[in-house]
Amino acid sequence: MRHLFLPLLAFVSLPAFSSEKRNLSDYEGDVSDIRELRHVDQHPDSWRVWQPFIAQWKSRHLIVAFGAMTNGKKDMGDIFAMVSRNDGDTWEEPVAIFDHNKKQGDLQFAYANPVLFKPTDQNVVWCFAMRCSIKQENSEESHLVAAFSADGGWSWTPVELSMHYTGPLITNASVVETVIDGKKRYLLPAHRNTLGSDPRGSRDHFVLSSSSLLEWELEAYIPQPTSARVFLHEGNIASWGDPGGLKIVMRTANYDETSLTTDPPRAYSSVSRDGGHTWNEAKAESELHNAKSKGHFSQGSDGTHIYVYSDGPAQRDYTWPGFPNGGRTSLRYKTRLPGGEWSEQKTFFHMGIKNSYPTLIEVAPGDYRAVWDSGTETRPRTRILFGKLKLQ
């Protein structure tokens, strides 16, 4: 009887709560309708909430996934999902997608970095994430894991993926649909950082591909700059130029000393002309700032590209004037019309507090919904924020 009853929970709506706007009115920026979706105090066994990701199920129905960092762990824990059926005005209580307390036999895992994806030809939404042995110091030895929801985010079914790429990986950005050699493919950007624990390891950005979302293989590496290696990671892929053209814009750091930014601190990019099968040499984006923090890069339905990023210095750099508490404070953004140049810097959200890891979804032409993790002046990742951005 228990197994007959549980699936019915997917169709029983949990009570919605009016997400908080407390202490969020005194800010600068173009984002509006800000809500606090979740606070770390609501997760007693966690010390941070981080890396939110947003997707649109249909119409005004939104889904947000986020991580709750387990006490004693550096960057892994549980993954939750929240649902709004009124375009973000109210949100229902979160449900677990991946729970570190649930063992698989004698094995116990923790999870990180959820990314959501709604295929154009499937009436499900997918959550891809990282799964790592809970005994690890950090999540850099993770492997890909997935779950899907067929009811708009109220219940999730985990699946075991068939992986032809068997090395460790770190996820950050969602899947994109493309065509390679006349066949539909799904691309998932990821990177690895094995050099930190192995002197013969590497820091590589690559792209996985699939025809089914269940079976994944290595499609391509992003070639390093020939002048000097850069730690390329956390890239976002979007359409670029002619049909079949794609561009990936990546977070960066010094390759050998990851506590340092590039000089100057810039995002790097690479372009593919064949649907993501091959990529050109990565190069610095002279107009796009990056100081070791995830940015968001995507293309809207009218062809406009948007880049949202953390302003200022690297996360723990206390030497920049005006940033006494280090980096990852204000969120800024730039836009680019088709065939044009990047705009001047605009303010997305500024409040004198920690903010990082923005993710946006376009729900109508030029109309975006956004989530990011936020904190206090000195403490990052104490809450998940939601807002709306309409490009003029």
Output the six-digit token pair for 321.
């004037």
User: Which range among 15-29, 202-216, 301-315, 352-366 shows the weakest confidence by mean pLDDT?
Assistant: 15-29
User: Which range among 20-24, 116-120, 138-142, 313-317 shows the weakest confidence by mean pLDDT?
Assistant: 20-24
pLDDT value, residue 120? 93
Contact (CB, 8 A) for 168 and 138 = no
The residue among 307 and 326 whose pLDDT is bigger is 307
Q: Is the pTM of this model over 0.85?
A: yes
Query: Which residues neighbour 264 within 8 Å (Cβ) at sequence distance 6 or greater?
Result: none
pLDDT value, residue 255? 96
pLDDT per residue as tens digits for the range 221-239 = 999 999 999 999 999 999 9
Give the span between the Cα atoms of 355 and 324, in whole angstroms: 15
Give the span between the Cα atoms of 345 and 143, in whole angstroms: 36
Q: Place 20 in a pLDDT band, splitting at 50, 70 and 90.
A: very low
Q: Residue 5: is its pLDDT beyond 80?
A: no
pLDDT value, residue 101? 95
Where on the phi/psi map is residue 219: left (φ > 0), alpha (ψ -120 to 50), or beta? Answer: alpha
Angle at 326 between CA 349 and CA 297, to 5 degrees: 45
Contact (CB, 8 A) for 11 and 151 = yes
What does DSSP assign to residue 104?
B
The whole-chain average pLDDT of the chain stands at 93
Give the span between the Cα atoms of 154 and 12, in whole angstroms: 9
Q: How far is CA 320 from CA 244, 289, 323, 355, in A?
A: 41, 15, 6, 17
Nearest to 371 by CA among 15, 6, 35: 35
Q: Residue 149: is its pLDDT beyond 50?
A: yes
Output the six-digit token pair for 11.
């169709």
Contact (CB, 8 A) for 142 and 130 = yes
pLDDT value, residue 1? 35
pLDDT value, residue 18? 46
Output the six-digit token pair for 213.
């979302």
Q: Which fold has domain 18-390?
A: Neuraminidase (2.120.10)
Q: Residue 4: is its pLDDT beyond 70?
A: no
Give the span between the Cα atoms of 145 and 128, in whole angstroms: 6
Query: Which residues neighbour 104 within 8 Å (Cβ) at sequence distance 6 or greater?
Result: none
Q: What is the mean pLDDT of residues 312-317?
A: 90
Q: What is the mean pLDDT of residues 30-49?
A: 97
Query: Which residues neighbour 180 within 8 Å (Cβ) at sequence distance 6 or greater?
Result: 209, 219, 274, 275, 276, 277
